[in-house]
Amino acid sequence: MWNFFKSSGDVDLIEAVGDHIEKYIGKIDTVLHEKVSPTIHVDVNVVFASATRPYHTLITSGMAELPMAVPREVEDGRFAELMICLPKEWPIDPEHFKDENYWWPIRQLKSAARFPHDNKTWVYGGHTIINSDEKAFASGTQMCCVALTEPRTIPKEGRVIALGKKKHARLWALMPLYREELHWKLQDGFDPLQQSFDHLGINEVLDPKRVNVAVQHHQQ
């Protein structure tokens, strides 16, 4: 399914996203190109860990090929791309991606990018994308769904991608959640959960076994 050398996506979009990444995040070291593309063509740009950013950064290019069906009051969110960061020790190569414990964050990044287009809906900061069975993503984690958040690892001015004079895409970070965190969010909204993340310094740099903030909150 993957090819590291060429893309058949929207060239203008690919260039705009690439320019944005290199301006606000760093040099793109490789791209996980897609051979088979239902609905939209989703590539994943990879900026390897460095001294200034000691984690890999993965950013989609292709979610913004199509507008989302947003309400009028959030017209600025019609287009989006997604990102997630992985620990510097995380292997980025096809052989390791055969192991679901290494592949699942990329799979979730791509499936989340397709989700609004496949379901004729929209996603925005604070929204969650839920597996219907709430099953853990892989054997090495108990996380089972994702939320979209404002990225914490890039400056605020880097959270909007210019796609032309009158077109832009929001850049959302993918935050994997535990089942208890999902239920807390569904009950009380996303703000308390985000505040707990910020208080503990938790951001889009993935730790598959990080503290479960909902369990911690309800034990206090």
pLDDT at site 8: 59
CA–CA dist 77, 73 (Å, integer)? 9
Burial class of residue 2 in the structure, from the number of CB atoms within 10 Å of its CB (0-12 exposed, 13-18 middle, 19+ buried): middle
User: Using a CB cutoff of 8 Å and minimum separation of 24, what contacts does 114-122 make?
Assistant: 114/38, 114/39, 114/40, 114/42, 114/63, 116/68, 116/69, 117/39, 117/40, 117/63, 117/66, 117/68, 118/38, 118/39, 120/69, 121/68, 121/69, 122/68, 122/69, 122/70, 122/71, 122/74, 122/77, 122/78
pLDDT category, 126, cuts 50, 70, 90? very high
Is the confidence at residue 1, as pLDDT, over 90? Answer: no
Q: What's the number of CA atoms in the CB half-sphere (13 Å) around residue 72?
A: 0
pLDDT category, 7, cuts 50, 70, 90? low
**Mean of pLDDT over the chain:** 93
Is the confidence at residue 2, as pLDDT, over 70? Answer: no
Is the confidence at residue 88, as pLDDT, over 80? Answer: yes
Domain holding 140, by residue range, is: 2-219
Is the confidence at residue 70, as pLDDT, over 70? Answer: yes
pLDDT at site 75: 87
Quote the DSSP letter at residue 99. S
Comparing CA positions, the residue from 59, 162, 73 lying closest to residue 112 is 59
* 162-214: pLDDT as tens digits: 998 789 999 999 999 999 999 999 999 999 999 999 999 999 999 999 999 99
pLDDT category, 3, cuts 50, 70, 90? very low
pLDDT category, 94, cuts 50, 70, 90? very high
Can you give the C-alpha Rg of the chain in angstroms?
Answer: 17
CA–CA dist 45, 48 (Å, integer)? 10
pLDDT at site 162: 96
* 24-46: pLDDT as tens digits: 999 999 999 887 777 899 999 99
Is the confidence at residue 84, as pLDDT, over 90? Answer: yes
pLDDT at site 4: 42
- How many domains in the chain? 1
